[in-house]
């Protein structure tokens, strides 16, 4: 099962690489960027409440679900104080701003750290039920695409070549199996912690979305397209949940 968990989380992490590839091929405009970041936000918020927290609630009651969610959000708050935010400055098309290179590298480090708890969500979901883990991995992979864009854009603007910008975005997503493996190893021995782990992952992802993705989308994207993206992201999770019957 640990091999399956690793492969699933690796698949989810590759979404960051896909986003980096899209960014270096063609820089997205404000509308596209706002929509993509909004879509990722809608996916993660809906996934967290509709699946992760509600599943924990159903398995172990509201006390475990509430405590796990709160601990996850607080954990992410502490991590957030110690790691960079997804923020980057605007430049004119074609401009090269050396300071953005440092910004892009800091963003890559921050997203790498954020991806570890996302791996926990995939691992905990799979240890609960294989189909549930696959569902979470698909949603997280889609969510990671805009994060890859946010990583690669400032690197390109800072003068890093397209290949290296893409590789940096790709590598930032490949740390996701670390969280999944940790969850798999622990939960295989302590299966009674699965509900708490699901709620914990939900708290982590809701905090990350509200603190990072939504503000970034509204600041650097188009506000109306961000809202549309959030709604469509939620609808996507509803449909995916229905298809997987989880």
Give, for all 246 residues of the chain, the pLDDT tens digit: 789 999 999 999 999 999 999 988 888 788 888 888 899 899 999 999 999 999 999 999 999 999 999 999 999 888 888 765 555 544 444 444 556 677 777 778 878 888 888 899 999 999 998 888 998 998 889 888 888 888 888 888 777 888 999 999 999 999 999 999 999 999 988 999 999 999 999 998 899 889 888 887 887 767 789 999 999 999 999 998 888 776
- CA–CA separation, 18 and 6 (whole Å): 19
Against a cut of 0.85, is the pTM above it? no
Q: What is the DSSP string of 197-217?
A: HHHHHHHHHHHHIIIIIHHHH
- CA–CA separation, 24 and 148 (whole Å): 10
Question: Is residue 109 within 8 Å of 83, Cβ to Cβ?
Answer: yes
Write out the residue range of the structural domain in which residue 41 sits: 2-244
CA-to-CA dists, residue 90 to 30, 93, 227, 241, angstroms: 11, 9, 21, 37
- CA–CA separation, 195 and 149 (whole Å): 32
Q: What is the DSSP letter of 86?
A: S
- CA–CA separation, 24 and 28 (whole Å): 10
Question: Is residue 128 within 8 Å of 191, Cβ to Cβ?
Answer: no
- The count of domains in the chain is 1
CA atoms 167, 143, 38, 195: torsion sign: negative
């Amino acid at each position: 099962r640990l091999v399956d968990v690793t492969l699933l989380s690796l698949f989810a992490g590759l979404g960051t690489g896909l986003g980096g590839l899209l960014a270096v091929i063609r820089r997205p405009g404000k509308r596209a960027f706002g929509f993509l970041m909004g879509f990722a936000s809608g996916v993660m918020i809906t996934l967290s409440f509709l699946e992760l927290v509600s599943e924990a609630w159903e398995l172990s009651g509201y006390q475990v679900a509430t405590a796990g969610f709160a601990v996850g959000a607080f954990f992410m708050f502490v991590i957030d104080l110690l790691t960079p935010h997804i923020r980057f400055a605007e430049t004119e098309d074609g401009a090269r701003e050396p300071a953005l290179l440092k910004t892009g590298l800091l963003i890559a480090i921050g997203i790498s750290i954020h991806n570890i708890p996302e791996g926990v969500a995939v691992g905990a979901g799979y240890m609960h039920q294989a189909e549930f883990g696959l569902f979470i991995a698909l949603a997280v992979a889609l969510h990671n695409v805009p994060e890859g864009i946010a990583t690669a854009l400032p690197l390109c603007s800072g003068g890093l070549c397209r290949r290296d910008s893409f590789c940096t975005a790709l590598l930032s997503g490949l740390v996701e199996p670390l969280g999944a493996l940790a969850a798999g190893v622990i939960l295989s021995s302590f299966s009674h912690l699965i509900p708490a782990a699901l709620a914990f992952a939900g708290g982590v992802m809701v905090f990350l979305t509200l603190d990072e993705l939504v503000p970034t989308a509204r600041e650097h994207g188009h506000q109306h397209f961000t809202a549309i993206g959030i709604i469509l992201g939620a609808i996507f999770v509803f449909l995916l949940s229905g298809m997987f019957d989880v």
